[in-house]
Every structure is written in structure tokens, then in C-alpha cells.
Amino acid sequence: MGKERISNGTDTMPPNGYIRRQASRQVSAELFDISCKVMLIGDSGVGKTCILVRFKDGAFLSGSFISTVGIDFRNKVVDVDGTKVKLQIWDTAGQERFRSVTHAYYRDAHALLLLYDVTNKASFDNIRAWLGEINEYAQEDVVIMLLGNKSDMGGERVIRIEDGERLAKEYGVAFMETSAKLGTNVDLAFMAVARDLKMKKTRKPTDPKFNVADYVNQEKKTGGCCSS
């Protein structure tokens, strides 16, 4: 499984299996203290693969759209206040025909990054259905982060930031707009997940509970660790 070409493009496109080969090459000599599984989900074309590549490689996959086939993953180890957290990031296919494959992976996910495209109303309208699937297949305490991607495409935007905020509030999940193209808030989304895991593993009963949505809002306000 990997990426398949669904439109004619240029030589700038990565070859099929790009993500999978990259993943297997880095079977990790990197040391880590704790690890977790993060899944990227959402409609086809919202930018899941681009978000992953931006976070992992600091690059943007431009050129023609190549749709993910099935599921793929890559690892990245990040430092949260001296604790090495390995994020195993699963990039799923948004296309309907792969849904039954991806559902099977929800169960042991620590966090789900649920994406829509701010220039695509259908992808936003489908978020409720995605949340229904999460409810059905994921663990009860899974961290959910709603990401309105392609925030760089101002002129073509059809979903306002307030719409995303309202929906996230209704479901009690963290929210931010991102741009895989510019890198906006991409690190913040993954670092918030890593921090949540670290807090869950190291928290003493007397410590206050860590709330990922509050953390994200605070970081957004202050410019925080990693927004750009």
C-alpha cells in the first residue's frame, strides 16, 4: 500500500510507495522513552499526507495529487521537556473504498488528527460522520484534534475559522487551522499530542489533568512552541 496516481502530473511527484519505503528505511535506531500511535484521517484530498511530510521532512509535496492507497506510517521522535516521545504516524486513505481497512487501526490509536480542507465544504460537512466513526471504532480516551487545513488558500476559503471553532467546541475537541504548504501549526498539532501522552504517562494523582484543547489554545495565543 502507498500512494496511487489519480491524475496526470509532472515529474515532481514522488514515486508510488514513497511513504512506505521511507518508513521502512528508518526502523528506528533512534532512542525513545515512550511511544504512541497517531492517525491522520479525513476525506480524500484534505492534505493528510502533506501534513505528515511537512512534519517529518519539513517539506511540501507540491504537484499533482496522488491519493493514498490503504494505510502507511512514518516515525518521528520528539523531545517533550527532556522526554523522548516516539510518534508513529499513520497516514490513512480518505477514499471511501478503504474505510474498512482503516477502521481496524483506530482501536489502538492514542490520537486522531481529523482534517478537513477550508476550501472544500463537503470535507467540513463530513466531519460529523468522521466523528461518528471515531466514536464507534476508537478508544474512549483517544485524543481528537480537528484541523482545518490549507489555511494559506485565503481566496478560495469557504469555511471560516469560526465554523471550525464552533464545531470543535460542540464536540469538545482541540482545533486549529493548519497549512501543510507553509507549515503553519503543523508542529504544534503533533507536539500537543506528544505532550498529552507524556502527561498521561508521568502524571501523579495529585497533578492537575492535562487538557490538550486548552494547551493548544494557549500555545496559539502566545505563538507558543511551534506555530509559524
Ligand X SMILES: Nc1nc2c(ncn2[C@@H]2O[C@H](COP(=O)(O)OP(=O)(O)OP(=O)(O)O)[C@@H](O)[C@H]2O)c(=O)[nH]1
Binding residues for ligand X (CB under 6 A): 44-50, 61-62, 65, 67-68, 93-95, 149-150, 152-153, 179-181
| CB closer to ligand X out of 34 and 153 | 153
CB 44 within 8 A of CB 67: yes
* 81: CB partners within 8 A, 6+ apart: 198
Q: Which is nearer to ligand X, 23 or 80 (CB)?
A: 23
Q: Least CB distance from residue 28 to ligand X, whole Å?
A: 23
Residue with Cβ nearer ligand X (35 or 67)? 67
- Smallest separation (angstroms) from ligand X to the CB of 116: 10
State in angstroms the smallest separation of the CB of 182 from ligand X. 7
Give Cβ neighbours of residue 219 (< 8 Å, ≥ 6 apart): 188, 192, 225, 226, 227
Cell of 160: 471560516
CB of 19 to ligand X, least distance (A): 10
Q: How many CB atoms lie within 10 A of CB 149?
A: 29
**Burial state string for 181-204 with b = 16 or more CB within 10 A and e = fewer than 16:** bebbbbbbbbbbbbbbbbbeeeee
- The residue among 17 and 45 lying less far from ligand X, judged by its C-beta, is 45
